[in-house]
Structure 1
Amino acid sequence: MDPPPRHPVTKKQRTIKNVVVNAHRQPTLRQQPDKNVVKYPHAPTARCVPAIFNAAFDHLTFYQRTRVQKMECDGLLLLRAERLGSRELLKFLFDRLDPCNMVINVGKGRGIHVTPFTVKQVLGIPDSGEDLPLRTNNEACKALSDFKALVGLQDSEDAHTSYLLKIMEDDTKYNSRMIADDLAIRIFFIFASNKLLFPSTDNNIRAKDVYLTRDLSRLPGMNWCKAVVDELRDAARTWRFDRMKKVCPSISGCAIFLIVSTLFSHAYTHAVKKLSYFV
């Protein structure tokens, strides 16, 4: 006796079968959405670029790095971060940074205090002395013009970081020794100001970056830590205003400090919890 003919399964029948099977299947952890994850429509643009700062550091000679260390800025020589990592984390931190008391509320009654002391512990820069001259004025514009002439630029040309990196790279590559030690160290601190500690939305070297480094002997006697905190306070206020009006706002200020200090705080809390098991 021949078996009954087999009727082909239609596409509709296969769909119904899959729906029934999936309805009785236990959901896995991957299929369950995490309600605590906050996703933003657009990640912010961060102006703090450690990679460009590291490129300037790589062209310093051993003698020049020793001089930077003696200027009480040895922490800058140890900061070797290539990038900021997650911009979502950076947005999370700026959303919770209160510009009034400078505390990052990370939840569960915990807060990370942004003070000159914490900046000193993370970045290792001077924390006492006179305030940094970070305002653009006629003297700063004059200093920028003089600096452009010093590095071979016309006064009408922009002093871009790529140009300064190129002349430092050529000097190292051909061992020409055309860049004096003072100029190389000055360019290093210009990059520290423009791309690390006090970045803004301007991609060119600013007048205040050049004016800050006009006298290298004065740099150790300036309160860099206080200036970083003040700059982050202004950045937090600007962020709270821009995030409501702009689709993709920019974040200024020393973003690398916020990220590193948060990681240090998390590591410290985790270490304390582990030690509590043995007490």
Structure 2
Amino acid sequence: MDSTTGHPIDNQSKMRRIDHIPERTTRVAFMNSQVYYDMNVVGHQAHEEKCPNSEEVGSGPDKSGTAHNNEQEQSTDDGDFVNPLPRKRRAISKAPLSRKRHAEDAEASPVIPPKKRLASATRHSSRSPRPETQTIRGKDGKKGKLMSRCNPKDVLEAIRSLSDDQVAEIRRLGWGKFLEIKIDAVESRELYCFLMDHIDIVHMNLILSHDKILPISAQSVHIVLGLPIGGGELTFTKTKEITNAKKDLFDMLGEKLLIERLKLEVSKGLADELSLRCFFMIVFNRLLFPTSSYDVSNNDVRLTMDMSKIGEVDWCKLVVEDIRAAASQWQRRDCKVINPTISGCSPYLLIYYLDNLNHELNKGDRISIPRAALFDKHKVEHLTMHDRFTDRHGKLVYGGTQFMSQVGSCYQSHHPAIFAGPSHCSTSDKSTEVPLLNDLLSGARTFLTGRSAKEFSTMVSEVDSYISAKLAIVYDAKQKIHENMCVIDDAQQAIVSRQRQLAKEFRRLLEGRDLNHTFLILH
């Protein structure tokens, strides 16, 4: 560049053209075909002022680095940057500064290349928390809750509020035993879910293992809850009739059908149809046939539409069918649902199972009916804790307590002893027991690992499921044989009683020497 005119000098002999921006750039220029603008690099000037060992311009003693008398610039035809002429160096520093300065510059303003920046973002995103939609917890991070509308406490409160006239009317309908129940809460919903998972909905058996099987039958419902057994079926009711009946209840009660409103109506002590209907709707909604709805459902209204036949229906059978439907729905549920809903009469199933455990709390009264009169939430909780254990995977499961024998209990006349408790057969008969492969191969399965172990476990489970289904059929047949044997025993007992009565009568006659009367009795 000409120092007098300020215009760039077209002298290519003193400047070498390169295809990139040179290092240690001291001056830049911007130009077009008419005008141009140039300026010093500010960072370079500040660096030269701070570093006395930096390169000096010219050969004179001036070390300020601002003299440009010998500086020349080259103009380009395409309007690109103007590269400054290389300055003469007076001295070369012995210590290289490039690595240290590059490191300082990198720390001051790090620049991540596009590919590395993308990889860095990917690494950081992989360490971020998992999306909430992929977990089994809710948006607040808490574990989901099991939804169940079964609440025996409301039923007990309704029973305690009954007047003498209401109790007499309910007993007349065949529900007197039911009023003796004492179960006030369901303290173990996890156990109820465990039991629902082990229900054979085809044959309605609760199968824990090959020697721990309880039949879910109308007889067992009667024993546990004291409901009237026998009777006919419910009559079919059209939806329109149910809707009209519900509207009539709205008109009579004056507000929405809530459980608290029904309990208030029962507490009035009137033995009329409305009060009794409110009582039975509480029983059906909160205990026998609970649903996902917290309010009175159309089904509760339907079951109480004809109060004159409330004692003529086989309610035990209806409870069994409702548990079948509830177990089927529960076993086919979507396991990803955070707050699953479970229905069915949970107090019946819990008491029925816990009452057959071989525990000190169960070795008292084994005859009284209903069994729900002997259970409260504390007894349920204690037996549940005793039956729970941790499996080899660290998971809490149930079934750790053996069943006790049903001989001499209220269950004996309805179920054979093979359904609960250890076998009482002789040594020669024990060979007829069918063990499960899962139990027989428990030690040998440790030799398999990985995929082979998983496939083998699946195969064994399928075989055991098939065997369990067949065993249930065998047990049903044995139950029928047992019932027939009970009939035979009753007939034989009647004959024995008649024989003893005749012997007593003959002894009295013989002692009076009334032989003619004795011969008359014999003939």
Q: Displacement of 1:126 after TM fit?
A: 2.2
Q: Is the 8 A contact 1:134 1:208 kept in 2?
A: no
Whole-Å Cα distance in 2 between the matches of residues 118 and 134 of structure 1?
Answer: 26
Q: Is the 8 A contact 2:150 2:343 kept in 1?
A: yes
Q: Is the 8 A contact 1:126 1:223 kept in 2?
A: yes
Q: Is the 8 A contact 2:266 2:279 kept in 1?
A: no
Gap change, CA 1:94 and 1:136, over 3 Å in 2: farther
Q: Displacement of 1:133 after TM fit?
A: 5.1
Q: Residue 256 of structure 1 aligns with which residue?
A: 347
Q: Is the 8 A contact 2:169 2:271 kept in 1?
A: no
Q: Residue 319 of structure 2 aligns with which residue?
A: 228
Q: Residue 304 of structure 2 aligns with which residue?
A: 213
| Partner amino acid, structure 1, of 2:332 | F
Percent same amino acid at aligned positions?
28
Q: Residue 270 of structure 1 aligns with which residue?
A: 404
Q: Is the 8 A contact 1:60 1:184 kept in 2?
A: no
Residue 198 of structure 2, aligned match among 93, 96, 101: 96
2:207 match: secondary structure: strand
Q: Residue 282 of structure 2 aligns with which residue?
A: 191
Cα deviations across residues 221-270 of structure 1 (Å, max 9, x unaligned)?
Answer: 11101110110000001101225242231110111110111122224743
1:111 match: secondary structure: strand
Alignment partner of 1:152 is 2:254 = yes
Q: Displacement of 1:198 after TM fit?
A: 0.6
Question: Where do 5+ consecutive residues of structure 2 fail to align?
Answer: 1-142, 367-402, 408-420, 425-523
Question: Where do 5+ consecutive residues of structure 1 fail to align?
Answer: 1-40, 173-178
Alignment partner of 1:240 is 2:374 = no
Gap change, CA 1:134 and 1:96, over 3 Å in 2: farther
Q: Which range is displaced more, 65-74 or 225-234?
A: 65-74
Gap change, CA 1:200 and 1:135, over 3 Å in 2: farther
Whole-Å Cα distance in 1 between the matches of residues 325 and 195 of structure 2?
Answer: 15
Q: Is the 8 A contact 1:136 1:207 kept in 2?
A: no
Residue 292 of structure 2, aligned match among 178, 190, 201: 201
Query: In proportion to residue count, which structure has more helix?
Result: 1
Gap change, CA 1:115 and 1:180, over 3 Å in 2: closer
Whole-Å Cα distance in 2 between the matches of residues 85 and 197 of structure 1?
Answer: 17
Whole-Å Cα distance in 2 between the matches of residues 54 and 132 of structure 1?
Answer: 26
TM-score, normalising length: structure 1: 0.73
Flag the structure with larger Rg. 2
Residue 161 of structure 1, aligned match among 240, 259, 267: 259
| Partner amino acid, structure 2, of 1:194 | N
Gap change, CA 1:195 and 1:235, over 3 Å in 2: same
Q: Residue 508 of structure 2 aligns with which residue?
A: none
Q: RCO (CA 8 Å, sep 6+): is it higher in 1 or 2?
A: 1
What RMSD over aligned residues (CA atoms) do the two structures have, in Å? 2.4
Q: Displacement of 1:96 after TM fit?
A: 0.9
2:263 match: secondary structure: helix
Q: Is the 8 A contact 1:194 1:209 kept in 2?
A: yes
2:213 match: secondary structure: strand
Q: Is the 8 A contact 1:201 1:250 kept in 2?
A: yes
